[in-house]
Every structure is written in structure tokens, then in C-alpha cells.
Amino acid sequence: MRVLIVDDELEIREGLRTKFPWADYGIDDVATAEDGEQALTAARELKPELIVTDIKMKRMNGLEFIQALAQERGEGWRSIVISGYDDFAMVRQAMKLGAMDYVLKPINITDLGEVVRKAISQLEREQLERTNQSLMDSHVQNAMAIMREELLREMVEQPYSAARESRIVHRLQTLQLDWMLRDKLAVMVMEADDLKAIENQRAGSEKDLILFGVGNVVKQTLEEDTPLAAALCQDAKGRWVVIASCPDQPAMERCMELAQLCIERVNRFVKVKVSIGLCSLTGSYSKLHHLFMESGGILEQKAVFGGNRLLTSRSWEEEATQDNPSIRNPDEVLDLIRYGSDEDIAGLMDGFVEMVHSWSLSHIRDIHQQLFEWLLHVYRKAAQLGWQDRSWERNPIALWEQLEQYDTLESLRGKAEQLLLAVAHDFRSYASSPSQIIQEADRYIAKHYAEGLTLQSVAAEVHVTPVWLSKLFKKEKGKTFLEHVTDVRMEHAKRMLSDVQYKIYQVASGVGYKDPVHFTKLFKKHMGLTPKEFRNLQGIADD
């Protein structure tokens, strides 16, 4: 426990510090101050539990000091005032301000000891009460959290029943989830990728640690990084389920941003990959089970479209990828610099203003600093990919001085674009052309079409980002990556179907489709005939 002695008379101040037996009262840290101003600074730093202060002092007096400290620090300390026989009016005022007792000058050690003992007893009693209250609050919060999770799990896993409605409504209100009664809701379901394989490769308890880590990251993200009202629970399969308020399309977009943020943070902090299924439909609390089942079904499509990503309803028909690279993703910026045109880079810079606004900075020097760091990050990645100019590394101040010349968002955007174009022009002298990248991708697809190809896996093989590969397919071939892979698979399927030795399910598996029903639907969409009808036209009878 700490005590702060405040008196402008050195003899009294040092006498109290050295002659009073503070250690006998459990006080092992004794500090002093010569006036109220110095004492206020010391109290802010040391946070003493007990303050012994003279009332009359030359600068800030004891009353002003106690009042100022009380405004800053509401509890956890007590004050004793020292006064003369003629200061009782000030003593009464001190008691009104919260002083618990007083001692008179000249100070009697025995009297001071009684007052100090009483103060310490009161402080210990208040600390015990705070501890007990904190424990009680913690128990209540834990119980509330358990009851919330049980209710949410019931609502998502069990179909809605009017017979249970009044009980569910009452519990939602009691558990401070009544926003779910008013708002349209969205549901996302997330799970760690390849969890069984991880469990087999590592210690047996690893699965529980991973599930806990994923839930902890998502919980913290919901609490700190989204304006949406949201709740979290775990389903019977160990998947984490987020229920979020989603009244309109902008809110759905925020849900998607939230999902991407969760994936990034789980990757970074838990060191595992995670996929999220998000149904684009929304509904009232009575529709939660339906929304949960839809999102769970979408999540299963990671086997087709790849994991460690957000899967939405669009993923059933096409790869759920942005059409354009993002200025916030350094890898996508580098792809554009290496393989894009000047017009592509100008288009990328359309996101510059939004990026700067997202930094939430108001001073131009702070914006200069953030932009300087962003450019250095891009430059470092460019150097890793073979950019030979190292002038920025030898003299980074020169780059800073270039940015410092501009003080409007428009002019900074123009300068940043100019710097990116300069890097792009260097790369074009020795980098692969976009057509070469597509040729490499074509060769890889032709060799591995029977495997679980995804945009991400092929992009990794040709050393570009998925966004850029998707853009190149549309630009170079006039169709999406998935359409091209489907075309390749269907051509091989036609050849296999023409061979009587293969059954239809063997053809499906042989061209990369685990589900024969899904293969049949795609083949009919592509050819206008089912596989069986295609065979019949060629005179092959299929059993």
C-alpha cells in the first residue's frame, strides 16, 4: 500500500515520512510533495491509496488538491487532512469533499496512528466489496454468455415453432438480444479448413485449441471492429455461427467485410485457414434455422471453389472474386504494376481517396507518413519480385521529400500514380506478358483438370494473385476462370463418354467432379444433352 504526504513545511513533511511507523500499518511506499500541484502530479503517477495532506499551502491548497483528484479518480483512495485549531471551517469543507478524518497540529503520533488504522480498515473493506462485486458481475456475465449461446444454438439448429415463440421472445429480451426481434438478420457459418487433418498431424488437444482460438478472434472482432449488432455461438459440429443485424444492402456489404476481416485475423493469430459461408438472404428471427442451413450449405462449396475464403450464394455459379484489384492489397497492386497497362494503374488509383479516408487521419503530415509507408511497402514487394531500382532504399528521405511537396488529396494521388507508373515501366522491360501468364495457366489446367482446381491454386502456380488471374482470363479469353476450366473438363468428358469402358460416374470423377449429379447438370448446360443422351446419340447403350 502507498501513502502520499503533502505539506509545504519540510520539517513536518519529512518528520511524518521518517518518524511515523508506516510499515507497522502495512504501508511500504511513502512519497512526499510540497504543494497541491506537485501532489496532483505524483498522485496521477503513483496512485496512492492513502493521502495525508495539509489544508493550507502556498500554491494549490489541500482542499483544491482533494477536489481535483476526486474528479479524476473516483475510488480506491482515502484522504486525511492536517489542520490548525483555527481551520475548522476548512476541515468541514474537506469532509464534504470526501476526506475521512483530520489530525491537528502539532501532530500526535498516537492520534495519527488511530486515524491511519481506521482509514486502512475502510480501504480494505471497500477493496473486498469491489472484489466481491467484480466476482459476482463476472459470474453473472459468464452465466449470461452460456444462456445466450444455448438460446442461439437452439434457434439456428431447430426449425421455428410457434409453440416456443413466447419463451424465445422472453429470453431474447432477458439476455439483451432484443435487437434480434426488431431487425432483419444475416447468418454466417465458419469453420477451420482441414481440421481433421490438422488433428491427425498434431497433438490430440489441438482441435479444441484451434476452435477456441477461432472463436476468441471472432468474438474480439465483433466487439471491437464492427458497427453491426451481432451475436456468436457454436453449433453441434463445432462451427462458429455469427448472427448479425442486416437491415439493408450496405449492412450486407459490411457483413462481407466483417467475414473477410475474421479470415485475415484467424490466419494471422491462430495460424490456420478458415472458410465462411454467408447466405445473401436475410430474415426475421423466425427464419434463423433456414438462414443457418443455407449458409452451411454454401460453406460446403469450399470443396469446389477452395477454402480460406468467404463463400456466398454467387459461388454456386462463378468464382466469388472481385473483378478489379484493390489498392489496399499490395500483392494485387504489384500484379497491376507488373502486368497491367497505364490505364489499369489509373483505374486502380480510383480507390486512392477511399484508402486515405480509411486511415482516419486529419493532419497532412500524418497522411504523408502513412502514404510514405504504403509506398515503401509496395517498393519492398517489387524488389522481392525482381525490381532492380534500389535508389529508394539507399535514400528514402528523397521519397519523403517528394511527397511533402503536395498538400491536397488530388495532388497526392497524382504523385502516387506517377511513382507507381515509374515502377511499372521498369518491370515491362523484363517481366512476363499477360498472355504468357495465361499460357502457363492453360498448361497447368490441361495437366491437372481432373484435380480440385481453384482460382487460388492456379494463381499460386503462375505466381499472381487470384484477382489478377481472374481479370486476365476475362481479358485474354473473354470468359471467367471457372468457365474455362469447365470447358476443358467437358471436352475431356466427351472423349471419355465416347469410350464404352467408362461408366458415367467414372467420367465425372475422371474430369474433376466428385458429385455425378453435379457433373450431369453441368454437362447438360454445356452440351444441351445429358451424358446418357450424348452416349445414346453415338450408339452407346449405358446401364
301 and 180 fall within a common domain: yes
Residue that is last in its domain, among 427, 447, 468: 427
Q: What is the pTM of this model?
A: 0.42
Residue 306 pLDDT grade (very low, low, confident, very high; cuts 50, 70, 90): low
Report the alpha-carbon distance of residue 193 to residue 197 in Å, rounded.
9
Report the alpha-carbon distance of residue 498 to residue 124 in Å, rounded.
89
383 and 438 fall within a common domain: no
User: Range of 19's domain?
Assistant: 2-128
Question: Phi, psi (5° rounding) for residue 171?
Answer: -70, -35
AA identity, residue 244: A
Q: Is residue 103 scored above 50 in pLDDT?
A: yes
Q: Is residue 322 part of a domain?
A: no
CATH number of the CATH domain containing 443: 1.10.10.60
Q: Are 190 and 274 in contact (CB under 8 A)?
A: yes
Residue that is last in its domain, among 427, 455, 477: 427
Residue 500 pLDDT grade (very low, low, confident, very high; cuts 50, 70, 90): confident
Q: Is residue 153 part of a domain?
A: no
170 and 285 fall within a common domain: yes
Q: Are 276 and 311 in contact (CB under 8 A)?
A: yes
Q: Is residue 54 part of a domain?
A: yes
AA identity, residue 189: V
Q: Is residue 151 part of a domain?
A: no
Q: Is residue 319 scored above 50 in pLDDT?
A: no
Q: How many domains does the chain have?
A: 4
Report the alpha-carbon distance of residue 147 to residue 170 in Å, rounded.
13
Torsion of CA 21, 24, 29, 31, to 10 degrees: -30
CA nearest neighbour of 379 among 324, 427, 443: 427
Helix (H) or strand (E) holding 523: helix 516-527
What's the mean pLDDT in 450-460? 82
CATH number of the CATH domain containing 196: 3.30.70.270
Q: Is residue 469 part of a domain?
A: yes
Residue 335 pLDDT grade (very low, low, confident, very high; cuts 50, 70, 90): confident
Give me the half-sphere count of Cα atoms (radius 13 Å) on the Cβ side of residue 317. 3
C-alpha cell at 443: 498448361
Please, what is the end-to-end C-alpha distance for the chain in angstroms? 88
Long-range contacts of 23-31 (CB under 8 A, 24+ apart): 25/113, 25/116, 25/117, 25/120, 26/1, 26/120, 27/1, 27/2, 27/3, 27/116, 27/120, 28/1, 29/1, 29/2, 29/3, 30/2, 30/3, 30/5, 31/2, 31/3, 31/4, 31/5
Q: Is residue 134 part of a domain?
A: no
Residue that is last in its domain, among 427, 455, 490: 427
Task: Dump pLDDT digits (tens) for 1-48.
Answer: 899 999 988 999 899 999 899 999 889 899 999 989 999 999 999 999
418 and 273 fall within a common domain: no
Length of the chain in terms of residues written: 543
